[in-house]
Homo-oligomer: A and B are copies of this chain.
Amino acid sequence: MRSVLPRAVRDLSGELARWPGIGPKTAKRLAIHLLRQPRRAVARVADTLKSLHANVTLCTQCYNLAEQEICTICSDELRRREVLCVVESPLDVEAIEQAGSYDGRYHVLGGVLSPLEGIDAEQLTLQELFARLKREPISELILGLNPTVEGEATARYIVQALPDESIAITRLGRGLPTGGDIEFADATTLAAAFSGRTTLK
């Protein structure tokens, strides 16, 4: 289907249509919306995009997104050192922090095991997790992984790889619906999941 929109609008909507959850019609609508905004406002979005990578790094301790070598959570002396919550992505940390029901630390895997998508243990920060468990005084490991097939498989992998019986391994339990997504859970659901976590080992 030929488009009669100017090339600049088509180029932009083509880029936006690559973003997850944005279809070609929504992309065109967004492009036209931006065209109606003041030029300066659109330039500001462009600048924000350009400086995105330069100002974000990964925390060398927990692999969460950070502005400096150590993220704000890892450098917070008030956070409990003996509890570590393993999550898939920085958005999970964000959701749990906004719910405010957890005061320990995190370890961000950067994904979950997924043979279908070609993601194996090497591509996640699993070795870094095991090294932390040896190095840090952690007594409980909370598996805060999404209740999906991949999340469960990753949880099983971690349980099997940890023969050290001095560390309790729990997982977030009641409250998270199967097939759901931590990132979109509300605060109450997340609080219930934290308080109702079940012991795996």
- Please give the residue numbers on chain A whose beta carbons come within 8 Å of chain B beta carbons, in ascending order: 1-9, 11-12, 15-16, 19-21, 25-26, 28-35, 39, 42-56, 64-67, 71-73, 89-91, 93-94, 97-98, 100, 183-184
B52:A12 contact, CB within 8 angstroms: yes
Contacting pair A49 B46 (CB below 8 A): yes
In the complex, the answer to whether A51 meets B15 with C-beta atoms within 8 Å is no
A35 and B58 alpha carbons, distance in the complex (Å): 11
Contact assessment for B12 and A65 in the assembled complex, using a CB-CB cutoff below 8 Å: no
The interface residues of chain B lying within 8 Å CB-to-CB of A43 are 49-50
Q: How many copies does the complex hold?
A: 2
What are 5 A-B pairs with beta-carbon distances under 8 A?
A: A7-B55, A15-B45, A20-B30, A42-B49, A43-B50
Docked-complex contact A49 and B90, CB < 8 angstroms: no
Q: Is the interface of A mostly helix, strand, loop or mixed?
A: helix
A34-B49, A53-B39 known; A25 and B97 CB under 8 Å?
no
- Please report the C-alpha to C-alpha distance between residue A122 and residue B44 in the assembled complex, in whole angstroms: 30
**Are B91 and A32 closer than 8 Å at their CB atoms?**
yes
Q: Report which residue of A9, A25, A34, A44 has the largest number of chain B beta carbons within 10 angstroms of its beta carbon.
A: A9
The residue on B at minimum CB distance from A73 is B4
- Contact between chains at B29 and A183 (CB < 8 Å): yes
Q: By CB atoms of chain B within 10 A, which of A30, A33, A66, A90 has the most?
A: A90
Q: Which of the residues B33, B35, B97, B100 comes within 8 Å of A19, measured between beta carbons?
A: B33
